[in-house]
Structure 1
Amino acid sequence: MEETIPVIDLEKISEQSECQKLREACERWGCFRIINHSIPSTLMSDMKIVVQALLDLPMDIKKNNKDVIAGSGYMAPSAVNPLYEALGLYDLGSSQAVHEFCSQLNATPHQREIMEAYGKAIHDLAVKIGQTMAESLGIGSADFEDWPCQFRINKYSFTQESVGSLESNYTQIQGS
Structure 2
Amino acid sequence: MEECYKLGLAKSIGICNYGVKKLTKLLEIATFPPAVNQVEMNPSWQQGKLREFCKQKGIHVSAWSALGAYKIFWGSGAVMENPILQDIAKAKGKTIAQVALRWVYQQGSSAMAKSTNRERMKQNLDIFDFELSEEDLERISQVPQRRQYTGDMWLSENGSCKTLEELWDGDV
Same fold, TM-score > 0.5, yes or no:
no
Larger radius of gyration: 1
Provide the TM-score with structure 2 as the length reference. Answer: 0.28
Q: TM-score, normalised by structure 1?
A: 0.28
